[in-house]
Amino acid sequence: LLEMVVLVVGILLALAVDRWNQGRLDGIETSRIVDRLRSDSARNLAMFEDRLPQMEELLSDVKTLFRALEAGTTASEDLAKIESAIAYIDVVPSYPLVFAGYNELVATGRLRQLDDPVLIDLLGDQRAEYEAAQAVVGYWRDGIQGTSDALDQHVDFYFTTDQMDEEGMGVRFDCAALAADRDLRNKVFDAVDIHGDWLRLQTSIYKITKQIDAQLSAR
């Protein structure tokens, strides 16, 4: 009987040690993935903080173009913004977020080991909003392309530098001719709406990303 008790206790101890060791290894691996989440979050934040101001500026330029078409004239102080809007109105940028850490948590089943319901919900919300944005960006780009095609009928594009790069794009146009084209004016109206919706969607993802970063920093 004593030998049996010793054997059972030994087995139980061995199982307990094995569970403890496996839990320790799981904790180390989860911590490693959380570090990757932090790295992903930092990269995503840097991308947004670099690109969102550009998107805000383009939206402002497109609004200035629409106001000029409504008025049928171009104020000298608005000329640079109008030229920028015409040159880049068809740019609806989509920047891939980094989901390496989140994907690994899901694939390994370690997401629940974060033991942080708020962070888990935020990570899911970020992925869902990003996928929603990817689902509509093609449709919005098609809509913007119609505006760009309409502008092509009235605008001469040229390069201001020998390098012929994007920063050296210039445009020549007659504002009165643009304003007289009601279909073009309506398309620019749609472009304002599209750029505004896209900026709002990207800003929403950015806010979630900031919350994720704050939650990770608190761990």
15-29, 42-56, 129-143: which range is least confident on average? 15-29
Q: Name the pLDDT band for 22 (thresholds 50, 70, 90).
A: low
pLDDT at 111 over 80: yes
**C-alpha span between 121 and 129 (Å, rounded):** 12
Residue 71's pLDDT is: 87
Are 215 and 119 in contact, with CB atoms under 8 Å apart?
Answer: yes
19 vs 146, residue with greater confidence:
146
The mean per-residue pLDDT over the stretch 149-158 comes to: 90
Highest mean pLDDT: which of 19-33, 67-81, 87-101?
87-101
- What DSSP string describes 37-104? HHHHHHHHHHHHHHHHHHHHHHHHHHHHHHHHHHHTS--GGGHHHHHHHHHHTT-----PPP-HHHHH
The mean per-residue pLDDT over the stretch 59-82 comes to: 87
Are 30 and 85 in contact, with CB atoms under 8 Å apart?
Answer: no
Q: Name the pLDDT band for 129 (thresholds 50, 70, 90).
A: very high
Burial (Cβ within 10 Å: 0-12, 13-18, ≥19) of residue 14: exposed
**C-alpha span between 203 and 183 (Å, rounded):** 30
pLDDT tens-digit readout, 30-41: 778 888 999 999
